Chains A and B, each alone.
Chain A
Amino acid sequence: MMADSPESVLAIAREVAGVLRPSWLRRLQERIDARMARVPARLNEYGFDDQGLSPDFVRQNMLPIALLYEYYFRVRTVNIDRVPRGRVLLVANHAGQLPFDAMMLSSAMLLEGEPPRIARGMAEYWVSELPFVSVAAARGGALVGTPKNCASMLDAGECVMVFPEGVRGMNKLYEDRYRLMRFGLGFMRLALETNTPIVPVSIIGSEEQQPGLANLSGLARLFGMPALPLTPTFPLLGPLGLLPLPVKYHLYFGEPMSFEGDASEDDADIEDRVDRVRAAIEEGFERGLAERSGIFS
């Protein structure tokens, strides 16, 4: 075989790697392929949807994430069948310095949801400014978290993940684990506006994956970073220190909740409903923490 361009060399390398791949890895990829084949999507002639999602990209790059899902975090889902078809908001707790929780939740929807679907993430504004990351996020179905984007996703019948704690949750300290930070109210207004059911999701495990000892927010601002967490391993070990502990993930899906009312109500009235979602997530915490024997099992 002649190798006349870097692309063809890469293609050959990929083929060789494919043949050498152990059978269990191949089976995992086949499982991804089979699930992806059933994902509904409205694609154009080049295989993208209007927001730049590419199922082909997901299929080709899902393997490392699926490995994390199966073998590193050993994710266990409880009641994932409660997620209704059609538009739905998955509202979950957020923790662990890096968004592995979002990654695992969307992987669960893809690998174990029925039907398999690509849960759309709502990313922070600055994610769009990061080279490579922004492209990977868009191809994987994430969008900038504006109300308009979220509403149009729900109108299109998609499953949207929301973490109302935002960075407040992501950078929470170890002592605050399984304690929900203040919730943003935007998701509830959108749910009311678009008449979308909410499924509360309690994620057990992520809150211990990267114990935050302190958050040097002053220094972070100085460097123009969203946060600068101090953990037992970061920044001590450099970027490697950002690797999460191999905690076991448990995803508890609550009963779908429907809310009625006017999206333009006062904050106080919206907050009442938000508190019911919070309570549902906390209920999942209680059950999940009681059911597990340790953070690694």
Chain B
Amino acid sequence: MGLDTLPERGPACPPVTSQERELTKTDATIKKVLITGVAGPLGRLLAAKLSLTIDVCGVDTHRWKGPRPDIRVHRVDLRKRQFEDLLRAERPDAVVHMGFVRHFDRGDRVRHDVNVRGTKQLLDHCAKYGVRKVVVFSSSAVYGAFPENPYGMDEDCPISASRSYPEIRDQVEVDALASAFLWQHQEIETVVLRPVNALGPKVGSMMSSYLKLPWVPTVMGFDPVVQFIGEADLLDALEMAVVKPLSGVFNVVGAGQVPIHTAIQAIGARAWPIPGPLFNAVCRQLFALKLWHYPSGAVDYLRYPVCLSGRRFEDATGFRPKVSLSEMFDSIRQRGG
């Protein structure tokens, strides 16, 4: 499926006026949702879940093999003209933005351009074409891992990851862009989600791919508490963010948190403690040689806790995580463990 599947461009639609928007706002139900990054593992699951009740279309630069016939998937780059055309043609009520480059394999510039410029353009288009709900999928990593982090950080804590982990500053910028959009366009319901590390058979996070390494390096003498959320819970949270009347920045926290060595043990893997300075140095070298996927800034997340409070989201939506820690760990349990 490629660009040829783009729907026929309809008559040129003028941008929606604020008056029209007021009219549409009264009809609060979301009937059509567009998901960016739909070909990713989480995007696929979310598309399948939402399509039970809502008309779903998706966008991705990657091909999604075998989408269900009722889910229209367009192979478009967010930064390109075709995306605006698509949005104009599809006119979704809601947009879920999770089309990000989260790995480091293609370099800083690509990452930054896709994530930051892509988000900026997407938000602009959303404002222009009458989207009523925007859900931006950020991450708990934006707070940054620091020795002075308190437990139960709320959404008002500054997002300072770039201080020690400049490689993900684009992610911090995306979060900040979306939060600014929230205030600039109060007529649009904007939800910025900062979920903790996702664990599940299909959906992963940087933390879960780390835990699935054949040998799991840890920082000797450190054992920070790490939070996890099961993939089913994460999908529930995303659905609530789309469907419920909701606006704001929210941490999304799962059913529990444990020290990282306990997590490693629970999934049946073995930890290899490495002295911190050595770990950082080796990490930096191997990353530069592209032999290792994690920049040395990521090592701080194995040193210091980033523990969030999910209370605001729970109070606003009634969300309650259901997947327990042991169920999460079992779902990615390594063979022989």
Contact = CB atoms under 8 A, between A and B. Distances in A.
Interface of A: 44-46, 48, 50-52, 125-126, 128-135, 138, 143-144, 146, 148-149, 152
A122 B174 CA distance: 35
5 contacts: A44-B325, A45-B256, A46-B258, A134-B221, A149-B151
Interface stretch (B35-43, B102-110, B142-150): B142-150
Contacts of B149: 144
B324 A45 contact: yes
Contact of B148 (A133, A135, A144): A144
Task: Report whether over half of chain B's contact residues are helix, strand or loop; otherwise say mixed.
Answer: loop
A139 to B, nearest CB: 8
Contacts of A131: 219-222, 275-276
B285 interface: no
Contact of B223 (A135, A148, A149, A152): A135
A44 B258 contact: yes
B257 A146 contact: no
B209 interface: no
A138 B150 CA distance: 12
Contacts of B304: 128
Given A44-B325, A50-B151, A149-B150, A134 B222 contact: yes
6 A-B pairs with least C-beta separation:
A131-B221, A128-B147, A148-B150, A132-B221, A52-B225, A146-B150
Interface in B219-241: 219-225
A248 to B, nearest CB: 34
A152 B151 contact: yes
A170 to B, nearest CB: 19
B266 interface: yes
A52 B325 CA distance: 15
Contacts of B223: 52, 135, 138
B56 interface: no
Contact of A143 (B151, B222, B257, B275): B151
A219 to B, nearest CB: 23
Nearest to B324: A45
Given A45-B325, A45-B326, A50-B225, A129 B147 contact: yes
Task: Report whether over half of chain A's contact residues are helix, strand or loop; otherwise say mixed.
Answer: mixed
Interface in B300-325: 304-305, 307, 324-325
Contacts of B7: none
A125 B224 CA distance: 15
Contacts of A132: 221
Given A125-B147, A128-B147, A146-B150, A48 B259 contact: yes
Contacts of B150: 143-144, 146, 148-149, 152
Contacts of B325: 44-46
B147 A126 contact: yes
Nearest to A127: B147
A51 B221 contact: no
Given A135-B221, A135-B222, A135-B223, A48 B258 contact: yes
A57 to B, nearest CB: 10
Contacts of A46: 258, 262, 266, 325
Interface string B138-167: 000000000111111100000000000000
Nearest to A149: B150
Given A46-B266, A52-B259, A144 B221 contact: no
A48 B257 CA distance: 9
Given A128-B148, A152-B151, A51 B225 contact: yes
B286 to A, nearest CB: 22
Interface string B257-299: 1110010001000000001100000000000000000000000
Contacts of A143: 150-151
A152 B258 contact: no
Nearest to A144: B148
Contacts of A50: 151-152, 225, 257, 307
Given A45-B324, A46-B325, 19 more contacts: A44-B257, A45-B256, A45-B325, A46-B258, A46-B266, A48-B225, A50-B152, A50-B225, A50-B257, A52-B225, A52-B259, A125-B148, A126-B147, A131-B276, A134-B222, A135-B223, A135-B259, A138-B225, A148-B152
B336 to A, nearest CB: 15
A131 B221 CA distance: 4
A130 B219 CA distance: 11
A129 B223 CA distance: 11
B306 to A, nearest CB: 13
Nearest to B326: A45
Interface in B177-223: 219-223
Nearest to A135: B223
Nearest to B307: A50
Given A45-B256, A50-B307, A152 B148 contact: no
Nearest to B257: A50
A51 B259 contact: no
Contacts of B275: 131
Contacts of A44: 256-258, 325
Interface in B19-73: none
